[in-house]
Amino acid sequence: MEATLTAFVKTVRDIFGEELVSVILYGSAADPDEPHPKDLNLLVVAKRVDPEHLKKYRNIAPRFARKGVRNPLFVTEEFLSTSSDVFPMEYADIKRRRRVLHGKDLFEEMEIDPENLRRQVEFEIRGKYLSLIRAYLATFSERHLPVVFNETVSSVLTLARGLLRAAGEEVTGDPERDVKKVEEKWGVSFRVLPKVREVREKKLKVKKPEEFFLDYIEDVETLCGLADRLGEEL
């Protein structure tokens, strides 16, 4: 991993030259407790990001993609400094787990407004709720419902963590523990979300997929209510 990161930094330095401001590794690969991360999430910040810069990286992108660097983000310093109100959840995640590989730590003093974070969480969780209902009605065989669950539950858990952050609570990054914190803080009880790990590891067999999926939709509806409730508390 370290050799790949070193090569990536050298590459973007060659592309941007003196205009390169920062290169930041974020997510599981920046977490010392994650010894075998699947992907290397990288953010490249420069004074300017022009089409020529993007073309140069695109020509060599497959080489890095094979080593786990998929879809790195390229943004200007101005874009980053003026968009924390639009992407508070994503930036809060980067603030929590990041490692500066080159240049300035642009997240050290970045402030995330709790209300902006809450609004983004509410917007996305309500959208997720509607999409799950559509998926349920459009899935004519219940054996396909577990597939929809597996494709969507990670983002739902991320939104649950976003609620905790908006409320000023620390998140652990462990799905079961964070779901438990949500239940304890707001006095609710989820039916499916506490069982995600058991289902993923096939320690818990879902015998009635339709009932399981409908319970999942109810859990997401509960999160919608909590996001709205938090708006009254902030």
Q: What is the pLDDT of residues 178-220, one digit of tens each?
A: 999 999 999 999 999 999 888 887 787 888 999 999 999 999 9
pLDDT digits 0-9 by tens, 171-188: 888 888 999 999 999 999
Q: Of 69, 103, 137, at which residue does a domain stop? A: 103
Structural domain range at position 172: 114-233
Q: What is the pLDDT of residue 168?
A: 92
Pair (162, 126) in one structural domain: yes
Q: Does residue 57 lie in a domain region?
A: yes
pLDDT digits 0-9 by tens, 124-173: 999 999 999 999 999 888 889 999 999 999 999 999 999 999 999 998 88
Q: Does residue 229 lie in a domain region?
A: yes
Residue 230: band (very low, low, confident or very high) from pLDDT cuts 50, 70, 90: very high
Pair (94, 21) in one structural domain: yes
User: What mean pLDDT, rounded, does the chain reach?
Assistant: 93
Residue 234 reports pLDDT greater than 80 = no
Residue 16: band (very low, low, confident or very high) from pLDDT cuts 50, 70, 90: very high
Three-class SS of the chain? CHHHHHHHHHHHHHHHHHHEEEEEEECHHHCCCCCCCCCCEEEEEECCCCHHHHHHHHHHHHHHHCCCCCCCEEEEHHHHHCCCCCCHHHHHHHHHCEEEEEECCCCCCCCCCHHHHHHHHHHHHHHHHHHHHHHHHHCCCHHHHHHHHHHHHHHHHHHHHHHHHHCCCCCCCCHHHHHHHHHHHHCCCCCCHHHHHHHHCCCCCCCCHHHHHHHHHHHHHHHHHHHHHHHHHC
Residue 39: band (very low, low, confident or very high) from pLDDT cuts 50, 70, 90: confident
Residue 33 reports pLDDT greater than 80 = no
Residue 70: band (very low, low, confident or very high) from pLDDT cuts 50, 70, 90: confident
Q: Of 48, 76, 103, at which residue does a domain stop? A: 103
Q: Of 103, 138, 170, at which residue does a domain stop? A: 103
Residue 123: band (very low, low, confident or very high) from pLDDT cuts 50, 70, 90: very high
Q: Does residue 108 lie in a domain region?
A: no
